Amino acid sequence: MNFSTIQTAESLARESMRTFSQGMAYAEESLRNLSENLDTDIATTPFEVVYTEDRIRLKHYCPKKTRGKGLKTPLLIVYALINRETMLDLQPDKSVIRNFLEEGVDVYVLEWGYPMRKDRWLTLEDHIEGYMDHVVDHILKTKRLAKLNLMGICMGGTMGVVYASLHPEKVKNLITTVTPTWFDTEEGLLHLWMKETHVERVVEACGNMPGDVMNLGFLMLNPAKLVVEKYHGLMANLNDKDFLENFIRMEKWIFDSPDVPGETFLEFITAFYRENRLLNGSFTLGGKAVDVTRITMPVLNIYAKYDHLVPPSACDRFTKAVGSADVQDLCLDTGHIGIYVSSKCQRDFVPHIAGWLKERDGAEVRKTKGDKEKATAAA
């Protein structure tokens, strides 16, 4: 290496440092100018806590008076144990909750809270046959109804499928959104990693699966986009107030990550990601067989075309496996989170669900695939 080469490298390094310093100074000044005027609160829709048990809370959002006809049957939304349900109410103009209320839907949301170390031994049965069932019974008793509508999100949708299989008499309509039900897919790094990663060691060391560890794993699924591109976009838009507010709200949600009870996490990974036991009838919960053919209520299954966490191949077999003949699949042109927060999906997502529920809000007639087969044979 000659002297001129060293000199060139040094000058490039100095120029890079100068550019970096200027960029940081610009960012600091922009943030200082904007910080006093930013509105970055999330989950601002008013609600009432109507039931508590241990760490969980049941939130009730009363529907607004609408010109159209509201729903008689309440909707219970069950979010995943990973991250928090506040994503459904990220900001007033991007709020799944507010949109449901505008449609006249009586909304309940199960908030899982923040597991402590003492929750390490809680199982899937504790969450589904315990907390979920208790919440359902509370709503049904309060409303003097026999059934409610159940909507599950991601892992919460998988838990909802298990619940509906065990308690079809309590669920009028079932909605699954970006819900993995078929885990034997090589599409998406998450499904590959979960089969091979030694998560048992993390749980053994920590008791619960730390939210920060899961966040790091999700970022590593696509670091170029989720780290480099994202923060490059932030630097380029520091003087855009709307962009900055949206960015900070999303960051608040992403990094508000509760731990997942250790035993529950290991059960979920083992039974589903590694052994794919949900749709083939081999999964049991508390000694009871989870048979998805017992899901005879109407089913709406919504997933995202560009979902890198729960790809379409993990979702699209579900409606073929259930017992109900009244099923609908809807694939939206977005990603895992975009299905709830993108501007386009705000126009399509909730109105479609609300319309689907309103069509099935009256007297119940359950159509099963067995009935179809009998009718075909008779013809």
- For residue 379, the model assigns a pLDDT of 40
For residues 344 and 25, the model is more confident at: 344
Asked whether residue 339 is domain-assigned, the answer is yes
In a domain, 364, yes or no: yes
Q: What is the pLDDT of residues 39-73, one digit of tens each?
A: 899 999 999 999 999 999 999 998 776 656 789 99
Asked whether residue 375 carries a pLDDT value surpassing 60, the answer given is no
pLDDT at 9 over 70: no
- The mean of the pLDDT values for the chain is 89
- Give the number of domains in the chain: 1
Catalytic annotation, residues: 154
pLDDT grade for 271, boundaries at 50, 70 and 90: very high
More confident site: 372 or 215: 215
136, pLDDT greater than 70:
yes
pLDDT of 4 reads 55
Could you tell me what percent of the chain has a pLDDT over 90?
65
* CA pair distance 379, 32, nearest whole angstrom: 75
Q: Is residue 274 assigned to a domain?
A: yes
Residue 36 lies in a domain: no
What is the band of 202 on the pLDDT scale with cuts at 50, 70, 90? very high
Helix %, strand %, coil % of the chain (to 5): 50, 15, 35
109-113, 123-127, 140-144, 238-242, range with the lowest pLDDT = 238-242
If pLDDT is split at 50, 70 and 90, which confidence band does 198 have?
confident
Answer yes or no: is pLDDT of 5 > 60. no
Q: What is the pLDDT of residue 66?
A: 63
Could you write out the three-class secondary structure of 13-59? HHHHHHHHHHHHHHHHHHHHHHHCCCCCCCCCCCCEEEEEECCEEEE
Q: Say if strands 75-78 and 148-153 run parallel, antiparallel, or are unpaired.
A: parallel
Is residue 25 in some structural domain? no
Structural domain for 275, as ranges: 48-378
The single residue listed with the structure tokens 């299905």 is 339
36 pLDDT above the threshold of 80: no
CB 68 within 8 A of CB 359: no
pTM: 0.89
What number of other Cβ atoms are within 10 A of residue 71's Cβ?
Answer: 19
Taking Cα atoms as reference points, which of 176, 191, 187 lies closest to residue 318? 176
Inside any domain, residue 205: yes
For residue 368, which of 321, 303, 318, 315 has the smallest C-alpha distance? 321
Residue 188 has pLDDT above 50, yes or no: yes
pLDDT higher than threshold 80 for residue 215: yes
Q: Is 219 exposed, middle or buried (0-12, 13-18, 19+ CB in 10 A)?
A: middle
- What is the structure's pLDDT at 370? 72
Strands (E), 215-326: 284-285, 288-289, 299-304
Question: Domain for residue 187, yes or no?
Answer: yes
118-127, 182-191, 222-231, 331-340: range with lowest mean pLDDT: 222-231
Tell me whether residue 3 is in a domain. no
Q: Which of 4-13, 290-299, 338-347 has the lowest mean pLDDT?
A: 4-13
User: What CATH number corresponds to the domain at position 193?
Assistant: 3.40.50.1820
Instruction: Report residue 378's pLDDT band, with 50, 70 and 90 as the boundaries.
Output: very low
Give the model's pLDDT for residue 31: 64
CA atoms within a 13 Å half-sphere pointing along the CA-CB vector of 242? 3
Residue 226 binned pLDDT confidence (cut-offs 50, 70, 90): confident
Is the pLDDT score of 373 beyond 60?
no
- Over residues 350-361, the pLDDT tens digits come to 999 999 999 999
pLDDT recorded at residue 376 = 47
Whether 147 has a pLDDT exceeding 90, the answer reads yes
Q: Give the per-residue pLDDT at 363.
A: 77
Q: In a 10 Å sphere around its CB, with 0-12 CB exposed, 13-18 middle and 19+ buried, how is residue 361 labelled?
A: middle
